[in-house]
Amino acid sequence: MKTMVQTLTEDTLKEMVAVRRDLHQHPETAFEEVRTSGIVAERLRALGLEVRTGVGRTGVLATVKGARPGKTVLLRADMDALPIQEENDTPYRSQVAGKMHACGHDCHTSILLGVAKQLVSERNDLAGAVRLCFQPAEECGGGAEGMIADGAIDPRPDAAFGLHVWQDLDLGLVGVTPGPFMASVDEFSVTVKGTGAHAAMPHLGVDPVVCLAHIVTALQTIASRHASPFHEVVVSVTQIKAGTAFNIIPETAWMNGTVRVFEPELWKALPGHFERIVRGVAAAHGCTVEIDFHRFNQPTVNDHAMAALAREAAVEVVGEKNLRDDIRTMGGEDFSAFLRQVPGCFIAIGSRNASKGLVYGHHHPRFDVDEACLAIGAEVLLRTTQRFLGIAR
């Protein structure tokens, strides 16, 4: 599939596919992106760029400086893979047991390298600077914050853009959603402590399992009673562990899960709602609790002006009819950490292709994208950057 307008050379496009396949074969999980960041640094140096490595542990920063002064835009790609065993049988499948690029971050890294190459070749026409940010550890949280703490947004850029290949969108479609785009991500763990007893004599103990079951049910009132009916909320308890035998009431029961929202006021109030419900239900059952409430990502909120800019760029590449502006997901993204401090936009690049069987979602062991999305992603990112900086032609 050809994009409507093509800036990138055939050589760059081929290189992007080759880099993506190489990274796909050698996936590295959070904060272990040593080979990956090494390849990134080497390719950026080969373009004549000054490169800073080890940023936020395994991140890489480099800047393409235009011939004339102007604004600075940050472009971010994440580099980490997931602890999943790949089940695809492609020539470029993962060669590392138990690890796989199942979210498409290999694509993001290769796209940003392609964009970097093109920007270097356009340097003389460029006003301002483009800061290239290759980020580790998006999946487990901490990657974006680590790079920011280590200077990724110092001095502060005027805008920040990033993209994600998107399996909910067919190849050729692009999603640019103004405002809230992806949800916050909180993880909770709760240990309920009771008193063990024989299963036949529950009155002699305090059953943490019954208590936990009530907590699981009561937590759903965060969505149904504490949030406005107009605000999205998801509360999912995903792990429960307790007990050792059918005839023993255990001492403790444990659960783990996630809460996700879009609305900032509700996000702030979540830990309070959570703790009150858990402690209240536990007290009613005569149990005590230990709560661990970990805040991973805040909602990913696209700036309206920056989204409008990205939209114009995307329309140039795929046409108005292939643009979607209403894509939202309860999935989260740590690009939100950049967007909290710098106006910007996170763009979804359609990568699904049912005619080739490329239909599996992110984090699935058979996840794979139609690689034609690399060209579209790079064009959209490049044109968004050019528009923001005002490239002379």
Q: State the residues that interact with Zn ion by CB under 5 A.
A: 103
CB 188 within 8 A of CB 194: no
Question: Of 103, 107, 4, 2, whose CA–CA distance to 314 is shortest?
Answer: 4
d(CA 186, CA 296): 5
- Closer by beta carbon to Zn ion, 103 or else 163: 103
CB of 315 to Zn ion, least distance (A): 25
**Shortest Å, Cβ 148 to Zn ion:** 18
| Nearest to Zn ion of 126, 133 (CB atom) | 133
CB of 139 to Zn ion, least distance (A): 5
| In the complex, least distance from residue 6 CB atom to Zn ion, rounded to whole angstroms | 26
Nearer to Zn ion, 29 or 386 (CB): 29
Q: How many CA atoms lie within 13 A of 362 on its CB side?
A: 20
> Position 287: which residue type?
C
Task: State how far the Cα of 101 lies from the Cα of 29, in Å rounded to an integer.
Answer: 9
In DSSP terms, 292 is beta-bridged to 189
**Cα 258 from Cα 236, distance rounded (Å):** 5
Which tokens go with 271? 């830990």
Q: Which residue number places its CB atom closest to Zn ion?
A: 103
Task: State the alpha helices, DSSP H only, in 122-263.
Answer: 143-149, 208-219, 221
- Say if strands 51-55 and 68-78 run parallel, antiparallel, or are unpaired: unpaired
- By beta-carbon proximity to Zn ion, the closer residue of 297 and 384 is 297
CB of 238 to Zn ion, least distance (A): 16
Q: DSSP secondary-structure letter at 268?
A: H
DSSP assignment letter at 358:
B
Rank residues 103 and 270 by Cβ distance to Zn ion and give the closer one: 103
Nearer to Zn ion, 100 or 103 (CB): 103
Least Å distance, CB 289 to Zn ion, is 31
